[in-house]
Every structure is written in C-alpha cells, then in structure tokens.
C-alpha cells in the first residue's frame, strides 16, 4: 500500500502561493473548519498510536505539546460519542482546571465553535452541547475515584502525582476499575518522564506485552521539546539547550527520556521520589537545626562548589531545603554564595571540608561574613564510602527533599556501592555537600542527658 504523506508535512512544504491558492478553493465554512482541525497542525508525536491500546502513555519533553494532544483527543471523543463519560485526573483539582480545562491548550480554549463545553465549578464537571461529560479528579484523593464509571480517562503529568502512602498507585487502580462504560475504554497519560513507581509500572507493563496487539495493551510514544519547535519561541529553545543540553536533567526534561537507575546505586530515582515532600518548602523556624554544607573546589575556577542547605526537626527527620551550588566560581564568589544561603535560611552553622586547604576555606568564609559560624570537617574516607550511612537514612524514610533538585539528584544516583562514582561530571560536588550536611545533623555525636545505673 502506498504511504500517504501527513497533511502537516504537505502544508509545511507548500509555498505561500500554493497555500493561498488552496485557501481560495475553500468555502467559508471549510476555512473555519480548517483552523480547528488538529490534523492540519499536529506533529507525528501528538497523534494516537495506530495499534490497539487501552493505555496510551505519552512521555515527552517540556513544550512537546502533550496538553494540546490530550485536549484534542478528548474533544474528538466527545464529538463522535455523546454518551462519553470522561475522567480528567491531575495532581490536584486546581491543576486539572487551570491546565486541562481552562489553560492555553485546555479543552475550553481549543474547542471549535458550536462545540465549546461548559464548565460547572460546583460539580467539577464539563458538559458538551451534545451531552458528553467530563469529571475532574485529584490524584491526591484516590477514594474519589472509587465508584464513578467512565468510558475514557485523561491523566495529566502522572509523574507529579503524590506517591506518599501509595496514593498514586491507588488512584490509578481505582480509575482503571471504574473504566467499564462503552465497548473499548481507554486512558491517555500525558507526562514528562520521571522514574516514579507508577510510571515505571506502566513502562514495564508495555515491555511485557510489546508483541501483543489487543485492547489491553499499554503503548508508549514520546519525543523531544524540539519536535514542537514550530510552536515554541526560538529564544526559549536556545536558552534551554544552552542550560540543560548534555545533562541528565536535559535528557529527561527536554529529550523525554526516562532515566533508569544504575546497578548498585546508593540512591535510586524511585527512592528519591518517595522522599520528596508534596507541599511547599517548610518555614525555617520549626527546625531544630539548619546547616549549610560546602564542598569547595580544589582550585580557583575549577569544579563546582557544592552548597547544600539542610535541616532536622524535633522528631529527627532531616530535610534538604536548597541547592545553592555555584559553577566555576572564584573563592570570593562561592564564599559569598555560602554566606547568602546561611543568611537566607538562618543557618546555625556552616560545614566545610578541611582537607582541601582548611585554613583557606575558613578564612574565605569568615571574610564573606564575620559572624558566620564555621565548622571544619575532615574526610578520612572517600566520597561514596561516606555517603553509604546517609543513603541508609533515606531508605529508612528519615530524609525528605523540599522540592526537585535535579542536578543534585543526578549526582546522588551516580554514587555506587563500593566507592565508585559514574557521573554526571568528574566529582559529585553537590552530593558530597549533602552528605556532610546530613552527617552533621543526623549522624554526628550528640551530647544528650542520660540516666546511668550505679
């Protein structure tokens, strides 16, 4: 069978004269319909898989057009199926409304004239003129999906769903159990790839049934930010490539690559996801202690100077609050960054490794802030060996991350059992500073009141 060239490719290759000639052949109704026909503008990665599927997992970089693809898929369903009952699931109800419903690529915004759905906030419901409906759900409330029935579902940013207490998995399971309307219930998942347990579960399911072609199959598609260049500003693309190109974070956020764990890694990405706090960064005052740890470069303008802010609460749980690392900085500049971090977080102490010219480290820090308390620590073991007891704190659920620290977490995942570091970069500057901080807060000797039997 002769392969037909996609409409988007034909239109892109046409000259201005050819485009004008084509437009003149259209009636007014056809012109209006042309502007709202997504098939005329969609790139290949935004189109549904041709093989049979029950779950379409679209994992792609930022700006790929995932939300637009999701809205268009839902709109197409409602256009041809007045009986459709669709679940719209996001990390929170506010995100579902702001992105999936009312956003620039949301369902209300992209709808063609005469097909615009009405949003009923009190019911968290969208209703189309022909009777099709969609209901909004929050992934942080898994039980809200226990009971409702649906014919289709669109799950946005699955990798952001709250995984504490297995919420993400329970939400997914309850959703799937309610997909029992219609002949072929389907779920579209649009997400930037992150190695959270639920995403890995779907990826493994797709691999286990890769040779099958039936309605119960998970099919994965994806792509890069660059694939949607026609709809993105050139300055944005240049800026993100310059900042993140060649990094692990860039591979994930721009290239849409799911980063797997190295064999023997002290930290895994799923472990770090389980350690992430769902809410905002906690205020400073409730913490018992706050420290800023520094892994200074061996030479001026050499490697990065790792600067990590961490704290511990009254219950003995540690929290990574900020990554203030500076790249290729002079001693004066990185010392100033340390002082700024200490002031911003009301730190009790600065922890600095003394092995790399301890006197210089202390003098530079004190020059940056006379009142800055400094404690010098001495490394008697390699970086990865020092990291093992800190990694055990994560395994025990005693450390949280107050946000996503991509560069730091990439380094943590590169530290292997046995003392090997496999990158990124030559040295785990950020990870080593984190190890110093949590060692000081949670593994150092503390003098506490005790009772002895005489």
Instruction: Provide the residue range defining the domain that includes 275.
Output: 269-443
What pLDDT shows up at residue 359? 60
**Judgement on whether residues 117 and 37 belong to the same structural domain of the protein:** yes
What pLDDT shows up at residue 433? 93
**Judgement on whether residues 434 and 325 belong to the same structural domain of the protein:** yes
Segments of the chain scoring below 70 in pLDDT? 1-16, 18-20, 22-24, 26-36, 210-216, 246, 248, 278-285, 298-302, 355-361, 368-370, 380-384, 445-454
Within a domain: residue 134? yes
**Judgement on whether residues 119 and 33 belong to the same structural domain of the protein:** yes
**Judgement on whether residues 292 and 153 belong to the same structural domain of the protein:** no
Q: For 340-348, which contacts have Cβ atoms below 8 Å and span 24 or more sequence positions? A: 341/292, 341/307, 341/309, 342/292, 342/369, 342/372, 343/369, 345/284, 345/290, 345/292, 345/309, 345/311, 345/321, 346/284, 346/290, 347/290, 347/291, 347/292, 347/309, 348/289, 348/290, 348/291, 348/373
Within a domain: residue 400? yes
What pLDDT shows up at residue 303? 73
Within a domain: residue 298? yes
Dig out the tokens for 76 from the structure: 């197409």
- The number of distinct structural domains making up the chain is 2
**Judgement on whether residues 119 and 205 belong to the same structural domain of the protein:** yes
Within a domain: residue 255? no
Within a domain: residue 232? yes
Give the span between the Cα atoms of 26 and 275, in whole angstroms: 57
Within a domain: residue 369? yes
Residue 282 sits in a domain of what CATH number? 3.30.420.240
Within a domain: residue 263? no
Helix (H, G, I), strand (E, B) or coil at 382: coil
Q: Which of 196, 225, 243 is the last residue in one of the domains?
A: 243
**Judgement on whether residues 276 and 219 belong to the same structural domain of the protein:** no
Residue with tokens 């620290």: 405
**Judgement on whether residues 231 and 288 belong to the same structural domain of the protein:** no
Is this structure's pTM higher than 0.75? no
């Amino acid at each position: 069978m002769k392969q037909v060239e996609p409409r988007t490719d034909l239109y892109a290759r046409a000259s201005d004269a050819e485009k004008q000639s084509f437009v003149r052949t259209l009636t007014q109704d056809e012109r209006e319909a042309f502007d709202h026909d997504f098939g005329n503008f969609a790139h290949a990665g935004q189109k549904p898989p041709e093989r049979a599927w029950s779950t379409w997992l679209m994992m792609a970089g930022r700006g790929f057009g995932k939300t637009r693809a999701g809205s268009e898929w839902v709109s197409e369903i409602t256009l041809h199926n007045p009986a459709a009952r669709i679940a719209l699931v996001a990390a929170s109800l506010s995100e579902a409304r702001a992105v999936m419903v009312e956003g620039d690529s949301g369902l209300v915004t992209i709808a063609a004239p005469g097909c615009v759905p009405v949003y009923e906030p009190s019911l968290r419901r969208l209703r189309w003129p022909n009777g099709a409906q969609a209901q909004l759900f929050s992934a942080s409330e898994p039980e809200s999906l226990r009971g409702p029935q649906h014919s289709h579902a669109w799950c946005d940013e699955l990798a952001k769903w709250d995984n504490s207490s297995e919420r993400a998995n329970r939400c997914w399971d309850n959703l799937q159990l309610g997909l029992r309307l219609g002949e072929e219930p389907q779920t579209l998942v649009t997400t930037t790839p992150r190695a959270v347990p639920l995403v890995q579960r779907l990826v493994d399911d797709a691999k286990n049934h890769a040779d099958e072609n039936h309605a119960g199959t998970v099919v994965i598609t994806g792509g890069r930010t660059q694939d949607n260049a026609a709809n993105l500003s050139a300055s944005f693309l240049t800026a993100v490539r310059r900042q993140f190109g060649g990094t692990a974070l860039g591979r994930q956020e721009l290239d849409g690559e799911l980063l797997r764990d190295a064999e023997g890694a002290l930290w895994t990405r799923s472990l770090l996801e389980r350690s992430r706090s769902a809410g905002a960064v906690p205020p400073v005052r409730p913490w018992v202690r706050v420290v800023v740890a520094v892994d200074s470069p061996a030479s001026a303008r050499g490697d990065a100077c790792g600067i990590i802010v961490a704290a511990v609460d009254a219950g003995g749980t540690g929290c990574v609050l900020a990554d203030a690392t500076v790249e290729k900085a002079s001693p004066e500049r990185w010392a100033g960054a340390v002082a700024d971090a200490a002031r911003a977080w009301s730190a009790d102490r600065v922890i600095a490794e003394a092995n790399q010219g301890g006197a210089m480290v202390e003098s530079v820090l004190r020059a940056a802030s006379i009142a800055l308390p400094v404690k010098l620590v001495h490394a008697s073991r390699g970086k990865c060996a020092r990291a093992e007891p800190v990694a055990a704190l994560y395994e025990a659920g005693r450390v949280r991350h107050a946000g996503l620290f991509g560069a730091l977490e990439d380094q943590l995942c590169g530290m292997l059992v046995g003392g090997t570091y496999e990158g990124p970069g030559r040295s785990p500057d950020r990870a080593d500073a984190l190890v110093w901080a949590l060692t000081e807060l949670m593994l150092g000797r503390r003098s506490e009141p005790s009772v002895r039997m005489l």
